[in-house]
Chain A
Amino acid sequence: MRTIHLAATALLTGLAAAGCSSTAPEPQDMARTTVQTAPADLQLTCASAAATSAGVDADKVLPVGSSQLDATRYQVELNASGQRYTCVVDNMGTVTSVQKAA
């Protein structure tokens, strides 16, 4: 009996880990594109941080690309008055790094 219980628990844990959970997104989140980008507000948070780092007007910094690094962090590529910057921001809006691209 204990063996069956353990096996069932392991199976459920495995299914959850494999992403087999049937939880549906909220209605407002039921659309996406196959290109995964950082949320717009997080991209702008990075633009603001890069403007400070580059010493340029925030109106001259544009996010030009982004990707998800892991469950909580995004990387954003920026054009700051012609200079390239890379920024890492988490999903709470905290910028963890801003670096001038090589």
Chain B
Amino acid sequence: MAGMSRLRGRLGWVAALFMAVGLGAALAQVGPTTQIFDPKTHKWINYDRKKARQYYAAHGQVPDAFRRQIVTFRTAEKPGTIIIDGNQHFLYLVLPGLKAVRYGIGVGRDGFGWAGIVRVGRTAEWPTWTPPAEMVARDPNAAKFAGGMPGGPDNPLGARALYLYQGDQDTIYRIHGTPEPWTIGLDVSSGCIRMNNDDIVDLHAQVRVGAKVVVLMQGAALYKGV
């Protein structure tokens, strides 16, 4: 009898696990998805990590929409201001004359997206990457660099980093390069804004310390500076 009771308890636990996994899968499908237009089929297709990697391997670059370009941008914000549209995966650098440079970006994955009004506190070329303590604890590869990974082409921060501050406090979020350029256009990070290395070098050359940064993200998990 006690054995039957234990068996029922185990079956109930297994059923609950399957329900939780199913619910998780369903919720994962509810989240926003990047799509790109396929000119051959004239259909919008989902653009996930696998598809992005295939596209990059075939074309050697990201889709047109995520490449650097000058666009019309009607705003009263000062030239030099950075506007990040996290939902659409674009970063705008405001130019004079109602124009902006638009760059493709990768942003925080589900639960890691944030919004706010911050500023560029400092910048670095080929920055050192120091993994946060929780990443060191869970990831043996990150643990190797607990004391800091020197800058270079394999460094997760890429060629340049803009450190985002709220007042005089480092938010721990950065706009930085990446050794994984195919991830531009996707929700992949832990909250940092990633750009391909050519783009972050271009942005870094035009941005001043103190520049205002507005981060727009519908459904953000966190707000900074407001």
A contact residues vs B (CB 8 Å cutoff): 22, 24-25, 27-35, 37, 39-45, 48, 58-66, 79, 81, 93
B26 to chain A: closest CB distance in Å?
15
Q: Of residues 99 to 156 in B, which have CB atoms within 8 Å of A's CB atoms?
A: 100, 102, 115-117
Whether B37 and A31, one on each chain, are in contact in the complex, defined by CB atoms closer than 8 angstroms, is yes
Whole-angstrom distance between the alpha carbons of A63 and B127 in the complex? 32
Contact of A62 among B37, B115, B219 (CB under 8 A): B115
Question: Cβ of B220: which chain A residues have Cβ within 8 Å of it?
Answer: 64
The answer to whether A33 touches B223, judged by C-beta atoms less than 8 angstroms apart, is: no
Main secondary structure of the interface of A (DSSP, over half): mixed
Most buried by A among B33, B37, B71, B77: B37
CA distance A22 to B32 in the complex (A): 25
With A31-B34, A40-B92 as contacts: A62 and B223 at CB distance below 8 Å: yes
A62 to B224 Cα, complex, angstroms = 10
- Shortest beta-carbon distance from B117 to chain A in Å: 6
- B92, A31: Cβ atoms closer than 8 Å: no
**Interface residue? B211 (CB, 8 A):** no
Q: Which residue of A lies closest to B69 (CB)?
A: A28
Apart from A37-B87, A41-B73, A64-B220, 9 more pairs, CB < 8 Å: A28-B65, A33-B32, A33-B33, A33-B35, A35-B32, A40-B73, A41-B92, A64-B218, A66-B218
Contact B42 A22 (CB under 8 A): yes
Smallest distance from the beta carbon of A34 to chain B beta carbons, Å? 5
CB distance from B223 to the nearest CB of A (A): 7
- Assembled-state Cα–Cα distance A31/B67 (Å): 11
Would A30 and B37 count as touching, CB distance under 8 A?
yes
Contact assessment for A28 and B92 in the assembled complex, using a CB-CB cutoff below 8 Å: no
Q: Is A31 in contact with B36, judged by CB distance below 8 angstroms?
A: yes
Closest CB in chain A relative to B116 CB, distance in Å = 7
A-B contact pairs, 19 of them (CB 8 A): A24-B37, A27-B65, A31-B37, A31-B185, A34-B33, A35-B32, A37-B87, A37-B218, A40-B73, A40-B83, A40-B216, A44-B77, A45-B76, A58-B76, A59-B212, A62-B117, A64-B218, A64-B220, A65-B219
**A68 CB, min distance to chain B CBs, angstroms:** 12
Using known A-B contacts A40-B92, A40-B216, A64-B218, determine if residue A33 contacts B117 with beta carbons closer than 8 Å. no
Residue of B whose beta carbon sits closest to that of A30: B37
Residues of chain B contacted by A29 (CB below 8 angstroms): 37, 65
- Complex contacts, A62 vs chain B, CB 8 Å: 115-117, 214, 216, 223, 226
